[in-house]
Amino acid sequence: MRYSRTQEAAFAIVAGVSAACTAPVQAQTVGPVPSLSPAVTLDELSVEGLRGVRNGPQGGVTVGYLGKATRSATKTPTPLIDTPQSVSVITQEQIRDQGFQSIGEATRYVPGVIQAQGEGNRDELVIRGQRTTADFFVNGVRDDVQYYRDLYNTQRIEVLKGPNAMIFGRGGGGGVINRVLKEADGVPIREVVAQGGQFWNKRVALDVGDRVSDNVFFRLNGVFEDTAAYRDFVDIRRYGVNPTMTFLLGPKTTLKLSYEYFHDDRTTDRGLPSYFNRPYRYRENTSRYFGNPFLSPTHVDAHIATAQLDHAFDNGVVMHSQSRFADYNKFYQNVFPGGAVNAAGTQVSIAAYNSQTDRTNYFNQTDFTYQFRTGPLKHTLLGGFELGYQKGQSLRKDGFFASNGTRSLVVNPLAPLTRVGVNFVNLSSGANSTYDLGLAAAYVQDQVEVNEYLQIIGGLRFDHFDFSSLNRHNAVTQNRIDNLISPRAGVVIKPFQNLSVYGSYSVSYLPSSGDQFSALSPTQSITEPEKFVNAEVGVKYDVSPSLQLTGALFDLDRTNQRIYTGGNFNLAVAGSTNTKGAEIGLNGYLTDWWSVAGGYAFTDARITGNLTDSILRGNTVALVPQNAYTLWNRFDLSRQLSVGIGFINQSHAFALSDGRVRLPSYSRFDAGIFYNINENTRFQINVENLFDRRYILSAHNNNNIMPGAPRTVRAQLIVRW
């Protein structure tokens, strides 16, 4: 295979970083910035021309579309080939080439991850058959409020699949999404990205960073976006600012500070109803809004402050500590399809409600790492703790239509837009609660290198959850305490340095209060936590230093599960599901001019027991296609010109686990053209859904079904100086 000079230089850096990840940590080898490997200096990282290579924050290393190492899966800097878990990394270069700006869009090309609708007001994903609104993290710390996240300040996205309680705590049954943010690393950067496109899309992002002095670094990221959408009457306005600073307090101590303010204001859109168990005329209704968009706002204000302290002690122990304060104010209101279109095709009911969720999070994670030998065995020993306190309030009001005084309004599905006024009332059955959650966790892990052919990892985490909820309707307080132990074990066999075969076993729990723990009913207070048990075997093969092929087989059991019925979770019975699957991933450079990212996922997610009358044993879990293919390609035709071609194919799925409403299979092509005007300026055009196919992207339930976007063209101008 022929490589360019820039790629050869990149591979040399990656080889040095990978070696540093596995080398024993000695006090004298720890550089002044712990997130940067001792093998790579700040000056080396600032060399222009190493496209796609950055020894990034949180121990990550990327080459083009390939992630080579991360600390997120083990809390220690570890090459991915030595990690006994399926991990997909969406690099900064891939995010930029595809032109995506949200979590749901960016993960479309990750095998085993499916985008859910999220009721038109939040990120929601299905990972290995497990639906989640809360398994989102920032630099390894929980970011669990329901809102749409932007990627303006994101260095890379890590998708860690399978139960992850040992590292991330509660939940994460199918996997977690971890955003690694850009940080002040002393590398000079001045960049402006201006975007415009169809549906009045307007967006500008700023990234500026430099050294204030030899010991103080600064970086500022900001974004503003004002756009419409392919759906009628849907508007989005969001903006954010994220300054960060790094202080080298000494040769062995680094302090990093970050503050983010983010605001997102948009129209809540829950799509189309069904008709005879199919999405209602979706090829004709791609843009048609059902309900009242003028009374369907959603907004969030987030203030997030983080302090990270890294210190290497003289005895070789390395400390990594993060403290985070996050305050979220979230409100959404929607007037939306509340039922199916009648058999005559003349009527559909509209319903309405709103929800206010305020939450404040306080977290601290502190890890201590020590590397040592016992005879021929090399150990990387990790011990740490997490302390957290979360408090908030939840208030839901149901809508009564002014024209008839009831909670349902009938409209013609051929003219489903309504401007009828709505009165919102907090009923006794609606949420009206305050809550607080105290958590404390301790964990220990040992990564043992037996020899160059065999590595073993074992860990154990103890979590203490103390949850309390006050029902403000009746002034009754419900409490529940859970003490949970989550083990993890894995083995890595390396017959060659570029080939690893692994096996892993992990357990995770989700307390009975659920993904979003805004209230605790009497039933929940006596319900045992949900349990996730995952067994997995896989292979990782570095075909070259810049191309990795991965494969995994997994078997995931979820027991004591509350079954989602479309409006809430059924807590009277506990069900169980089993997900068996196979995943293949391919990321990196096939040649020095052809880059790829994508793969294939076979997912068989089934209901297995203790179900409701409508959700039967053997049914397929909602929103899970059995087969999904994704592949993004970039072809570098010259030093100035590149083109991208992407392909997505999903087999059919069901809107809910009752198996009534079937979402049809679809195929979609995306494209991009990238032109380097000069060494500092790049122009690109992205086309989503190149051939303008009409398809269903996702759903929330049987009557909130979201059609995919038609052909959409966006253009970007990227200027660096």
Indicate whether 480 belongs to any domain.
yes
Distance from C-alpha of 107 to C-alpha of 698, rounded to nearest angstrom: 14
User: Which of the listed ranges 7-11, 56-60, 596-600 does the model predict with the highest average pLDDT?
Assistant: 596-600
Place of tokens 């008839």: 404
Given pLDDT bands bounded at 50, 70 and 90, which one contains residue 513? confident
Domain annotation covers residue 205: yes
Nearest by Cα to 205 from 718, 564, 721: 718
Tell me if 423 is assigned to some domain: yes
Identify the CA nearest to 505 among candidates 482, 526, 517, 489: 489
Non-local (6+) Cβ contacts of 471 within 8 A are 432, 433, 477, 478, 519
- Rounded-to-integer distance, Cα 140 and Cα 136, Å: 9
Q: Work out the mean pLDDT of the chain and round it to a whole number.
A: 90
Express each pLDDT in 644-662 by its tens digit: 999 999 999 999 999 999 9
**CATH number of the domain that residue 469 is part of:** 2.40.170.20
- pLDDT of 175-207, one tens digit each? 999 999 999 999 999 999 999 999 999 999 999
3-state SS, residue 293:
helix
pTM recorded for the entire structure: 0.91
What are the distances in angstroms from CA 262 to CA 37, 61, 300?
31, 27, 8
102 is a domain residue: no
Mean pLDDT of 526-545: 94
Structural domain contains residue 667: yes
Strands 704-707 and 666-678 turn out to be unpaired
Q: Residue 67: which of 47, 84, 52 has the closest Cα?
A: 52
- The DSSP line for 515-530 is SS-S---TTGGGPPPE
Domains: count for the chain: 1
- Residue 107 near residue 645, CB atoms below 8 Å: no
Residue 350 falls inside a structural domain: yes
Residue 105 lies in a domain: no
The residue with greater pLDDT, 24 or 195, is 195
**Residue 235 corresponds to which tokens in the numbers above?**
């508007």
Asked if pLDDT for residue 270 goes beyond 70, the answer is yes
In contact, 705 and 342? CB cutoff 8 Å: no
Q: For residue 271, tell me if it sits in a domain.
A: yes
319-355 pLDDT, tens digit per residue, is 999 999 999 999 999 999 999 999 999 999 999 999 9
Distance in angstroms (rounded) separating the CA atoms of residues 403 and 677: 59
For 565-621, list the strands marked E by DSSP: 569-591, 594-609
Q: Considering only 9-18, 299-308, 528-537, which range has the smallest mean pLDDT?
A: 9-18
Residue 237 sits in which domain range?
189-720
User: What is d(CA 610, CA 528) in angstroms, rounded to the nearest whole number?
Assistant: 15
